[in-house]
Structure 1
Amino acid sequence: MTSWTALADITPAIALGPLDGRYRGAVAPLVDHLSEAALNRARVHVEVEWVIHLTDQGAVPGTSPLTDAEKAYLRDVVATFGATEIAELAETERVTVHDVKAVEYFLKKRLADAPAALGADTQLPALSELVHFACTSEDINNLSYSVMVRGAVNDVWLPAASALVEQLSGMARENAAQPMLSRTHGQTATPTTVGKELAVLAHRLKRQLRRVEAQEFLGKLNGATGTYGAHVAAVPGTDWVAVSKSFVEHLGLTWNPLTTQIESHDWQAELYADMARFNRILHNLATDVWTYISLGYFAQVRGQGTVGSSTMPHKVNPIRFENAEANLELSCALLDTLGATLVTSRMQRDLTDSTSQRNIGPAFGHSLLAISNVAKGLDGLDVNPTALAADLDANWEVLGEPIQSAMRAAGIAGTPGMENPYERLKDLTRGRRIGADDVVVFVKSLGLPADVEARLVLLTPETYTGIAADLVAFLDD
């Protein structure tokens, strides 16, 4: 057997997956929200805010509100959370073999170290047991994931997705009146415009963005089985429901009053379904644009310094759209699995959600990578009016629809000789090519009212686009 260097032993560590390797640059902003380090930072954030909230509310007798300096000290633990703290937590977890307990010990140490920064009279060391007070790990985890996912959606995914939709909408407006032959079932059909077809996709994507923008991010803090058992046993005189609700809302989340040990994750399933639907519509865009490129409707004229084929110099492959297709499929697979898995937990708790939620980052990452690729792909396209016009001019048979429709209307209005319009146009157009002269001769032979005949004689595949150009304006509604 060939003896090769063990790549797993190389430092810095080589990424196992493409999101942390080849495509790191496109998805790096998600690391601040959905990485393991971001999860631990969010946990520290929740634990810090719980200590501050308990003292502000006077929830536990014998405590008093923290000073501004003490609050700033604790919040600075979160603000400065970096490589040193990540390593310390990892070392602690190797002892505890429990990630949330490691966070608890990490923060307790900061309280013990407070006098060195704040002076000997600080009360923080005495409040050590307020860290993780009456909490189960899932009280911290569910709030941490809500904070993290909210940040990933609002700060990273939504801005990228919204920018792409605006880019697409701009292309739709720019090409609102550019005629294009349609293809239904892959066959030539009623002409449309480039802008109208792009607007359809932009409109669909915008609708999904509105759903994501309206998403609620839920949270709970109610103990080991959602009963506030430890809270009431420890301090029966405190209104723990009010304290829990105000704390969750203080974090900017929506309070869930009824849970088991875990927050039920239904909101996550709702969000991931909407994101997956956005992905699938974007996949539709990628495959359509790929097809339009293959028909010559779009020219890939920018970025010509790239290599399209390793052996065929003339080629500029639509790789951005193909890459996007694959990544959208991967993202949807993960989002679908998360949505299906997270809504189910045996009785009061099982751990299937723990591993599942650690894959939220890859689910978002593959979607973000696809969005980036589609944006770059669209940016490299120019509409090819010459190819569009040639395709339209080669397919005069598409005028069979408006001619037979005009015959129907004329017949209803009392014009004689308008019988069997569909069948007569079928005989003229089906299975053979016709040209402008064939259409003119046929129209003039029908005996249509003069104004109708004049209108149809002037009609061409290029002008038979209805009000497609005007429909693009609905993007602004």
Structure 2
Amino acid sequence: MDARVSSGVFTSDHAPFLSNLQPRKFQTLRSISTLNNTENIHHFSNVSFHLCTAFSSRSHGFKQVVNISKGNSCEFELSTLTALSPLDGRYWGKVKDLAPYMSEFGLIYFRVLVEIKWLLMLSQIPEVIEVPSFSAEARSYLQGLIDGFSMDDALVVKKIEGVTNHDVKAVEYFLKQKCQSQPEIAKVLEFFHFACTSEDINNLAHALMLKEAMTEVMLPTMDKLIEAICKMAKANASISMLSRTHGQPASPTTLGKEMAIFAVRLSREMQEISRVKMMGKFAGAVGNYNAHLVAYPNVNWPQIAEEFVTSLGLAFNPYVTQIETHDYMANLYYAIIRFNNILIDFDRDIWGYISLGYFKQTTKAGEIGSSTMPHKVNPIDFENSEGNLGKANEDLTYLSMKLPISRWQRDLTDSTVLRNMGGGLGHSLLAYKSALQGIGKLQVNEARLSEDLNKAWEVLAEPIQTVMRRYGVPEPYEKLKELTRGRAVTKERIREFIEGLELPEEAKSDLMKLTPHSYVGAAIELAKMVDSAVNVINGSEVFETIR
């Protein structure tokens, strides 16, 4: 097929270089030990990456060839430039606060924590005489493994996993290696992972990951977003604005009151999110404590399991299969989706107000809005927020629908899906920060708001016909419809109409005082009271994160 366009501008004669592209090769050599530094670099060992892109001027098609060679001479370096996910690449700086909790490192860390806490729990059960109560020194040693867990430790676990091909077993072996030098613990090494199925460890680790990520990162950022919108509401409480229903002029409101609506809506959903209880199970291979009861039949294992799970700050789920049912996860994710949907509504409204000229955006020296139109200052922060909220909601929706479903006593489909929890939270966090950044650039254009109100005297038809109804004037709606619908309505026409009404002089005088700017009802008061409204929802001090 001939690739030339009809104008003859783009031909092989004009662009001969396009058919002579050479293969490009990206190779780096780096020791895996450098992963312990503070750079945002992830490594795959012994991998080379080849990219060949060829374009023939005689063909519309692109040919891409990717060869991954597992030679011993080089490795492929994963960095912010080569990451497949933009969360780990372009947007890393905005979402990295989630990494200690929602990453592979976070999962390994919480597995280590659960395994150690379980061994400590066993040492407190009198019937388990094989694990005597530990001395303060031994307990301190175990706690030190948790508190001092490092990237190097996580890499050791991954190295062990390379042999075992089992991630949880790798954690068990890691702990046994670490504790061989501690005399007391060395005697009871086989009680690491005692009577546990991998999911006993994993479900608690996942719950703790979510609990910490929500408490330390997500909820505080939601707080900041709501606080910023509340400030917008109060600062603009008295700035009148033409409403639009169905895209057409409607009864005026104030800019602040419209912002207050979003603050209250978001607060309500944040409260729902904060109420979700992260749950855990610890009941063995199929949820019946089978192995526990064979080994120690006189121990009340369900009670022990409940004490253990709740000691980690989680709610206990006694009725389970091999896995915790994940219903609480679905509840949490759906609540976040609702929060995100409200923020999408906010983003779109602000985008629209910017389009109308109601907001200006502050500019930053050196920034460019369009590659070809120098005048452009685009609402990119709100567009970025909206786009990431959509992506987050798709991810969270799938998690919510899939995770509560598992064949019989368990299938493995949830395992790989659970590894994607960070994506939904990451895109949400990025969206919240983008919206906050956009809010910080907004400047109200009062002149533009006033301009639209001055052109919309027809909005006073509503109060006039309502007062006419009160005083028994026949066919008030129909008379105002005849006056306003499809016709240009001016201040003079409205006042002339009022003068001709058979109304008490006081009522007529009040109507004559009305303008599109003043006809805002209780909007000003509603905007000013937004902090109180949010406070009632939270049941605590305004903007205090619920933990």
Query: What is the TM-score of this pair, normalised by structure 1?
Result: 0.95
CA contact (8 A) 2:241 2:517 kept: yes
For residues 71-108 of structure 1, the C-alpha deviation after alignment (integer angstroms, 9 at most, x for no partner) is 12112212222221122111111111111111111111
- Aligned counterpart for 1:379 among listed residues 436, 440, 443: 440
Identify the residue that residue 161 of structure 1 maps to in structure 2.
Answer: 222
1:182 match: secondary structure: strand
For residues 207-247 of structure 1, the C-alpha deviation after alignment (integer angstroms, 9 at most, x for no partner) is 00101111101001010000000000011111111111110
> What is the rounded CA distance, in whole Å, between the counterparts of 2:236 and 2:219 in structure 1?
25
Amino acid at match of 2:318: P
2:242 match: secondary structure: strand
The answer to whether the aligner puts 1:80 opposite 2:136 as a matched pair is no
Deviates more, 1:300-309 or 1:227-236: 300-309
> What is the rounded CA distance, in whole Å, between the counterparts of 2:348 and 2:258 in structure 1?
13
Residues 383, 59 of structure 1: alpha-carbon distance in 2 compared, 3 angstrom cutoff: farther
2:299 match: secondary structure: coil
- Aligned counterpart for 1:144 among listed residues 198, 202, 205: 205
> What is the rounded CA distance, in whole Å, between the counterparts of 2:77 and 2:405 in structure 1?
40
CA contact (8 A) 2:340 2:393 kept: yes
Deviates more, 1:236-245 or 1:181-190: 236-245
The answer to whether the aligner puts 1:436 opposite 2:456 as a matched pair is no
Amino acid at match of 2:167: D
The answer to whether the aligner puts 1:2 opposite 2:68 as a matched pair is no
CA contact (8 A) 1:395 1:433 kept: no
For residues 391-414 of structure 1, the C-alpha deviation after alignment (integer angstroms, 9 at most, x for no partner) is 100111111111111111111xxx
Residues 10, 96 of structure 1: alpha-carbon distance in 2 compared, 3 angstrom cutoff: closer
> What is the rounded CA distance, in whole Å, between the counterparts of 2:136 and 2:259 in structure 1?
54
> What is the rounded CA distance, in whole Å, between the counterparts of 1:171 and 1:105 in structure 2?
55
Deviates more, 1:220-229 or 1:302-311: 302-311
2:320 match: secondary structure: coil
Identify the residue that residue 451 of structure 1 maps to in structure 2.
Answer: 506
> What is the rounded CA distance, in whole Å, between the counterparts of 2:131 and 2:401 in structure 1?
44
The answer to whether the aligner puts 1:285 opposite 2:358 as a matched pair is no
> What is the rounded CA distance, in whole Å, between the counterparts of 2:275 and 2:127 in structure 1?
33
Identify the residue that residue 85 of structure 2 maps to in structure 1.
Answer: 17
Aligned-residue offset at 1:304: 5.2
For residues 259-302 of structure 1, the C-alpha deviation after alignment (integer angstroms, 9 at most, x for no partner) is 00000000000000000110110000000000000001111125
Identify the residue that residue 536 of structure 2 maps to in structure 1.
Answer: none
Amino acid at match of 2:180: A
For residues 8-58 of structure 1, the C-alpha deviation after alignment (integer angstroms, 9 at most, x for no partner) is 454354311100010001000100100011101100000000001110233
> What is the rounded CA distance, in whole Å, between the counterparts of 1:302 and 1:282 in structure 2?
23
Amino acid at match of 1:449: P
Amino acid at match of 1:237: N
> What is the rounded CA distance, in whole Å, between the counterparts of 2:311 and 2:455 in structure 1?
65
2:488 match: secondary structure: coil
Matches within 5 A, 1:224-239: 224-239=285-300
Aligned-residue offset at 1:361: 0.3
Amino acid at match of 1:170: K
- Aligned counterpart for 1:209 among listed residues 270, 281, 284: 270
Identify the residue that residue 325 of structure 1 maps to in structure 2.
Answer: 386
Identify the residue that residue 185 of structure 1 maps to in structure 2.
Answer: 246
1:197 match: secondary structure: helix
Amino acid at match of 1:421: P
Aligned-residue offset at 1:448: 1.3
> What is the rounded CA distance, in whole Å, between the counterparts of 1:282 and 1:90 in structure 2?
39
CA contact (8 A) 2:230 2:530 kept: no
> What is the rounded CA distance, in whole Å, between the counterparts of 2:207 and 2:269 in structure 1?
20
> What is the rounded CA distance, in whole Å, between the counterparts of 1:10 and 1:231 in structure 2?
46
For residues 418-467 of structure 1, the C-alpha deviation after alignment (integer angstroms, 9 at most, x for no partner) is 11111111111111221111110001111111111101111000000001
For residues 180-219 of structure 1, the C-alpha deviation after alignment (integer angstroms, 9 at most, x for no partner) is 0000011110100001100011110000010111110100
Matches within 5 A, 1:72-471: 72-114=140-182, 122-303=183-364, 305-411=366-472, 418-471=473-526
Counting helix residues as a fraction of each chain, which structure ranks higher? 1
CA contact (8 A) 2:130 2:188 kept: no
> What is the rounded CA distance, in whole Å, between the counterparts of 2:264 and 2:125 in structure 1?
47
> What is the rounded CA distance, in whole Å, between the counterparts of 1:410 and 1:306 in structure 2?
60
> What is the rounded CA distance, in whole Å, between the counterparts of 1:77 and 1:140 in structure 2?
17
For residues 320-373 of structure 1, the C-alpha deviation after alignment (integer angstroms, 9 at most, x for no partner) is 000011100000000000000001110100111111111110100000000000
> What is the rounded CA distance, in whole Å, between the counterparts of 2:530 and 2:229 in structure 1?
14
Point out where structure 1 has 5 or more consecutive residues left out of the alignment.
115-121, 412-417
Identify the residue that residue 532 of structure 2 maps to in structure 1.
Answer: 476
Identify the residue that residue 64 of structure 2 maps to in structure 1.
Answer: none
Aligned-residue offset at 1:474: 4.4
> What is the rounded CA distance, in whole Å, between the counterparts of 1:210 and 1:90 in structure 2?
38
Amino acid at match of 2:174: F
CA contact (8 A) 2:234 2:530 kept: no
The answer to whether the aligner puts 1:52 opposite 2:120 as a matched pair is yes
> What is the rounded CA distance, in whole Å, between the counterparts of 2:425 and 2:206 in structure 1?
14
1:56 match: secondary structure: coil
Question: Following superposition, which runs of at least 4 residues in structure 1 exceed 3 angstroms of deviation?
Answer: 6-10, 302-305
Residues 138, 437 of structure 1: alpha-carbon distance in 2 compared, 3 angstrom cutoff: same
> What is the rounded CA distance, in whole Å, between the counterparts of 1:358 and 1:308 in structure 2?
37
Aligned-residue offset at 1:307: 1.6
Identify the residue that residue 414 of structure 1 maps to in structure 2.
Answer: none
2:123 match: secondary structure: helix
1:259 match: secondary structure: coil
> What is the rounded CA distance, in whole Å, between the counterparts of 1:269 and 1:444 in structure 2?
61
Deviates more, 1:219-228 or 1:302-311: 302-311
> What is the rounded CA distance, in whole Å, between the counterparts of 1:451 and 1:302 in structure 2?
50
1:183 match: secondary structure: strand
The answer to whether the aligner puts 1:30 opposite 2:98 as a matched pair is yes
> What is the rounded CA distance, in whole Å, between the counterparts of 1:337 and 1:316 in structure 2?
36
Identify the residue that residue 117 of structure 1 maps to in structure 2.
Answer: none
CA contact (8 A) 1:286 1:325 kept: yes
Amino acid at match of 1:77: L
CA contact (8 A) 2:361 2:442 kept: yes
> What is the rounded CA distance, in whole Å, between the counterparts of 2:272 and 2:531 in structure 1?
16
